[in-house]
Homo-oligomer: A and B are copies of this chain.
Amino acid sequence: MSAQYAERLQELNITLPKLAAPLANYVPAVISGHILIISGQLPAGGVGEMTKGHLGKDVTLEEGNAAARQCAINIIAQARAALDGDLNRIVRCLRVGGFVASTPDFTDHPKVINGASDLIVEVFGDAGRHARAAVGVAALPLGAAVEVEAMFEIKLS
């Protein structure tokens, strides 16, 4: 793993987790030309258990935000693996799709998914600023509270 973004992760005291195997017959990342697509990541791999439950019921805004941050850390881990360890091939983050398991009356989905958006901008700076859709869904795989997917523009190797 080369300099810049790797050093930035160290400054932020972020250790990328061991990669979770996909839960099915798909792959965690796909590259097509200048585009890198990362599969939906769950908030596993951090300290303690994966955050499960629903915002508006049994998961607090702070817990949801931290879960989204962990999803983004996992996205970067998958990106690093897909780029053979070289995060510096990332030109910018293009889009983040954020899914929040929520009750019908919960309305603070943006504050939850900010956990992911903020982490990506902390690591990549202005190149981390992305388009985004954040929505509240009925339920997520394994009972996770948050799932985040992403798309990056990359340099050809």
Contacts and interface: CB of A to CB of B under 8 A. Distances in A.
Interface residues of A, number: 60
A37 B114 CA distance: 19
Contacts of A147: 133, 135
Contact of A139 (B27, B40, B105, B121): B105
Given A94-B37, A114-B24, A149 B137 contact: no
Number of identical monomers bound together in the oligomeric complex: 3
A95 B131 contact: no
A26 B97 contact: no
B32 A117 contact: no
Given A23-B110, A113-B24, A133 B95 contact: no
A85 interface: no
A25 interface: yes
Nearest to A153: B32
A139 B103 contact: yes
A26 B117 contact: yes
Interface in A118-157: 118, 121, 129-143, 147, 149, 153
Given A26-B129, A30-B95, A39-B132, 4 more contacts: A105-B139, A106-B138, A107-B141, A135-B140
